[in-house]
Amino acid sequence: MRSITLKGLSKSINGGQIIPGLNLNIPAGKFFALLGPSGCGKTTLLRLIAGLEKADEGQIFLGDEDITELPIHERPVNVVFQNYALFPHLDVFDNVAYSLKLNKTPKKEIKEKVCKILQAFHLESHIYKFTSQLSGGQQQRVALARAIINEPDVLLLDEPLAALDFKLREKMLIELIELQDKLKTTFVYVTHDQFEALTVADQMAIMNTKGQIEQIGTPKEIYEFPHSSFVAKFVGTTNILSGKLRQIDTDPEIEVADLGKFKLSIPLKKQWMKEGCDILISLRPEKIFISKKEVPNFSNKLMGTVQSIVYHGRSTQYNVVLRNGLKLQVFEQNEEHFPQQVIDYDNEVYLYWQKENVVLLEK
């Protein structure tokens, strides 16, 4: 289980640059997620690490070893493909045993290892079946078993759950976490689905459409303290307000045109934060408290009209129009069968939030 370090990695395809001089360190033995919108280059990056693509510039290190020039089949890196890429002419046993059969491992040992791993994945009853006879979830597990049986240093997963339905996906995510925990292999999970990324990752990186890494951190860090509006908007939903930064050193607040002044808290003052400069703030919908009556003890308050209501089962989403035309999204958890106050269309409501729950972003 070694770490992966990328130095100045660049890759262009057909004249367009996909990866621009990327630097990244993926810690050893952890479940790492690479999250980004479709087409941003994350699959290309994964293929570069696997050796399926050759970088134009830069280096790839596995631990201390420079593997940039190493051909695909010599890298101790395995891939679980999005469509599984199971060999249709081989049955489950032979698929899983494939890598072991490559180098004179004794038949008995192969049989042992394969049976053991198939048991762990609950696939014993399918051992001699062919791909077409398996369900999506089973195929996925075979692909997984095949990729880990020869104990690679790194396992790359390219949106492996994309083809599964929601319930199965949730289940597989948990299984993947447990698997990584047991094996301690470095997992690199590439996806565009933030829910998946947030669920499995020990550490994650957000890639933007230009192939650059916007932020690296734990899921919680990324969600609660995004560094840019891209990250704030891509991971989860958020409300973005723009305005001017006032009273930095005394009682910081943001002045939003036509709306007023709102209190902020600045845990760490950054270089770019200057009095009167333009800033953005990110306010997550679940951090806003909505009520038809006035409520005390909140640092910030706004008034608006409910434009639309969307029922999500666990929560209800309110889209509220403010007096300057701006719309805010509010999530409220449905804690009670019979809520004490019922908020309806066209209701005049108060929106409250605490200044600590706002994130300051550079414009």
Partner 1 sequence: MKLKFLPKQRSSEFPFTFGAPAIIWQILFFYFPLLIIVVTSFINISELGEIEGVTLKKIALFLSPTYMKVILSSMLLGVSNAVICLLVAYPLAYFMAIRGKKHKNLLLFLLIIPFWTNFLLHVYAWFFVLERDGFLNTLLLKIGFIHEPIHFLNSIFSIMVMMVYYYLPFMVLPIYSSLERFDSRLIEASLDLGASWFQTFRRIMLPLTLGGIRAGFFLVYIPSFGEFAIPELMGGDKYMFVGSVVSHYILGDQTGSLGAAFTVVACICLLLSAVGLFFLLNKIILPKRKK
Partner 2 sequence: MKNQAKTAKIASVTLLLFTYLFLYVPIIVLLVFSFNSESFPAPWKEFSFKWYIELFHSVYLWESFLNSLVVAASSTLISVVMGIFLIFYALQGGRIGNFLSLFYGNVVIPETVLAVSLLGFFTLMSIPLGLTTLVLAHTVLGLGFVIPIVYAKFLELDPKLTEASLVLGASPIQTFFKVTLPLLRPSLISTGLLVFIISFDDFILAYFCAGSSSQTISLYIMSMLRSGVSPVVNALSAVLLALSTLFAVLFFSLKTKVRIV
The residue type found at 169 is R
Write the interaction track for partner 1 spanning residues 148-167; mark x where CB under 8 A is met and - where it is not.
--xxxx--------------
Write the interaction track for partner 2 spanning residues 145-164; mark x where CB under 8 A is met and - where it is not.
-xx--x--------------
Instruction: Pick what 147 binds: partner 1, partner 2, none; C-beta below 5 to 8 Å, kind-dependent.
Output: partner 2
Binding to partner 2 by residue 79, rule CB under 8 A? Answer: yes
Cβ–Cβ under 8 Å, residues 22 and 211? yes
Chosen residue from 34, 50, 117, 254 binding partner 2 by CB under 8 A: 50
Binding to partner 2 by residue 242, rule CB under 8 A? Answer: no
Task: Name the minimum Å distance from CB 133 to partner 2.
Answer: 10
> What's the DSSP call for residue 185?
P
Cα(89)–Cα(91) distance, rounded to whole angstroms? 7
Indicate the Cα dihedral angle 112, 114, 116, 118, nearest 10°. Answer: -150
Binding to partner 2 by residue 39, rule CB under 8 A? Answer: no
Instruction: Pick what 151 binds: partner 1, partner 2, none; C-beta below 5 to 8 Å, kind-dependent.
Output: partner 1
Instruction: Pick what 316 binds: partner 1, partner 2, none; C-beta below 5 to 8 Å, kind-dependent.
Output: none
Side-chain half-sphere exposure of 232, counting CA atoms within 13 A: 21
H and E: helices and strands count for the chain: 8, 20
Measured CA distances, 90 to 93, 102, 128 (Å): 8, 15, 9
Contact region with partner 2 (CB under 8 A), list: 99-107, 112-120, 163-171, 276-284: 99-107
Chosen residue from 71, 106, 276, 313 binding partner 1 by CB under 8 A: 71
351 burial level (CB within 10 Å; 0-12, 13-18, 19+): buried
Chosen residue from 8, 39, 88, 339 binding partner 2 by CB under 8 A: 88
Chosen residue from 1, 10, 98, 129 binding partner 2 by CB under 8 A: 98
Write the interaction track for partner 2 spanning residues 101-140; mark x where CB under 8 A is met and - where it is not.
-xx--------------------------xxx--------
Count of chain residues binding partner 1 (CB under 8 A): 11
Phi, psi at 214, each rounded to 5°: -85, -40
Cα(299)–Cα(205) distance, rounded to whole angstroms? 32
